[in-house]
Amino acid sequence: MSNTAPLARYRTMRRIRSFEERVGELFLKGESAGSMLHLSIGEEGVVGVTDAMRPGDSFTTHHRGHGVFLARGADPARMMAEIAGKATGYCGGKGGSMHIADRQLGHLGANAIVGGGIPHVVGAGITARNRGLDHVSVAFFGDGAMSQGILYEAMNMAALWRLPVVFCCINNQYGMGTRVDRSAGRVAFAERARAFGLAGAWVDGADVEAVHRMAADLLAGARAGQPAFLELSVYRFYGHARMDKSPYRTPEEEAEGRRRDPLATARGALLAAGIATEAELDRIDAEAGAEMDAALAAAIAAPAPAPEAMFRDVYAPGTPQPQPQADRLRAILAEGSAA
């Protein structure tokens, strides 16, 4: 393998971490739209999966999907603006953190309903099959979705029709405050997938290169008609959402979990292999920080969506505006212009 790919993956992971840190700042400044922000700090090893995807491949994410989208080529300034509820955001500021999407980059939608984004990839797999396209679709979701029935319907259909689909479970050990072994009788999730006829694998999500090797194999198999399931074992560094101080975890457990740091692991590996020097890695870190500082500042400075645009981009084109909300909006705007 060339040295440039591991270094590029380090850069992507650092960009994700810096982005998420700025999202945290956005929230603390009172500039985020809504209070629900789910940071993917500690889960950056997912870059091993996104890097095994190709242009044309599609994906869905759960509510903790900033990192996946960024890694698939999203513009951090447009993402940050969306999270801030601004007109310059990916969805005109109306989707927010949990509903960012951009089909041009293959993002078929983030979804706040646990497991809600999973069946879409089966549809994308059928589309690829019917159109004779060489595209894989990947569903990214958390361990909480392992207890949702829709996952099992989707896995069954993918296996039955041998669809080019990969189910990627980012197991960060918790669904809100519930540890995974308190919500699942047996946590060997890959075995469940194998029982359905999928290729099933587990990988340490702190080791991005191990993730990449595994994901590259599974995606190649999926492209050839062997759908797959991949569990990434990671640790959620912070609370479920920004308000959650994780009172259900001990400080010792958190310290231990944060030692499973994908950035520190990658940094150590790059230095040990002589692929990069401390100074080169520091420069990458500084560049990522500056890029995300700019995204944060631009999001704060960006305009809010115009009131007239309230229903635009929310419903499919041609859908009548909802009544009486549209009448009420018209009345408010008329009052404003009369005053």
Residues lying near Mg ion in the complex (CB under 5 A) are found at: 142-143, 172, 175
- Position of minimal CB gap to Mg ion: 142
Please choose which of ligand TPP, Mg ion, none residue 64 contacts, taking the beta carbon within 5 to 8 angstroms, the exact cut-off set by kind: ligand TPP
Kindly tell me which of 137 and 173 has the beta carbon lying closer to ligand TPP: 173
What is the nearest approach in angstroms of ligand TPP to the Cβ of residue 83? 16
- Tell me the C-alpha distance between 288 and 106, whole Å: 24
What is the residue whose two structure tokens read 């212009």? 337
What is the nearest approach in angstroms of Mg ion to the Cβ of residue 139? 15
- Tell me the C-alpha distance between 124 and 138, whole Å: 9
Kindly tell me which of 42 and 175 has the beta carbon lying closer to Mg ion: 175
Please choose which of Mg ion, ligand TPP, none residue 113 contacts, taking the beta carbon within 5 to 8 angstroms, the exact cut-off set by kind: ligand TPP
Please choose which of ligand TPP, Mg ion, none residue 301 contacts, taking the beta carbon within 5 to 8 angstroms, the exact cut-off set by kind: none
Residues in contact with 331: Cβ distance below 8 Å, sequence separation at least 6, in sequence order: none
| CA neighbor of 230 nearest in space, from 53, 6, 54 | 53
Report helix angle 149-160 to 118-131, nearest 10. 20
Q: Which residues bind ligand TPP (CB under 6 A)?
A: 38, 62-64, 112-114, 142-145, 172, 174-176, 236, 240
Please choose which of ligand TPP, Mg ion, none residue 114 contacts, taking the beta carbon within 5 to 8 angstroms, the exact cut-off set by kind: ligand TPP
CA 328 to chain centre: 36
Kindly tell me which of 183 and 226 has the beta carbon lying closer to ligand TPP: 183
What is the nearest approach in angstroms of Mg ion to the Cβ of residue 169? 9
CA of 320: how far to CAs of 93, 309, 327, in Å? 21, 14, 12
- Tell me the C-alpha distance between 225 and 246, whole Å: 41
What is the nearest approach in angstroms of ligand TPP to the Cβ of residue 208? 18
Burial of 303 (0-12, 13-18, 19+ CB in 10 A): exposed
Please choose which of Mg ion, ligand TPP, none residue 107 contacts, taking the beta carbon within 5 to 8 angstroms, the exact cut-off set by kind: none
| CA neighbor of 116 nearest in space, from 108, 106, 127 | 108
What H or E segment, with its residue span, contains residue 264?
A: helix 262-272
| CA neighbor of 231 nearest in space, from 196, 256, 194 | 194
Kindly tell me which of 43 and 285 has the beta carbon lying closer to ligand TPP: 43
Kindly tell me which of 89 and 115 has the beta carbon lying closer to Mg ion: 115
106: region left, alpha or beta (phi > 0 left; psi from -120 to 50 alpha): left
Kindly tell me which of 37 and 270 has the beta carbon lying closer to ligand TPP: 37
What is the nearest approach in angstroms of ligand TPP to the Cβ of residue 224? 29
Kindly tell me which of 38 and 107 has the beta carbon lying closer to ligand TPP: 38
What is the nearest approach in angstroms of Mg ion to the Cβ of residue 235? 10
- Tell me the C-alpha distance between 217 and 4, whole Å: 20
Structure tokens at 53: 């995807």
What is the residue whose two structure tokens read 């984004």? 117
Please choose which of Mg ion, ligand TPP, none residue 42 contacts, taking the beta carbon within 5 to 8 angstroms, the exact cut-off set by kind: none
Kindly tell me which of 172 and 265 has the beta carbon lying closer to ligand TPP: 172
Query: Which residues on adjacent β-strands are paired with residue 167?
Result: 139, 229
- Tell me the C-alpha distance between 179 and 235, whole Å: 11
What is the nearest approach in angstroms of ligand TPP to the Cβ of residue 110? 12
Please choose which of ligand TPP, Mg ion, none residue 205 contacts, taking the beta carbon within 5 to 8 angstroms, the exact cut-off set by kind: none
What is the nearest approach in angstroms of Mg ion to the Cβ of residue 53? 22
Please choose which of ligand TPP, Mg ion, none residue 97 contacts, taking the beta carbon within 5 to 8 angstroms, the exact cut-off set by kind: none
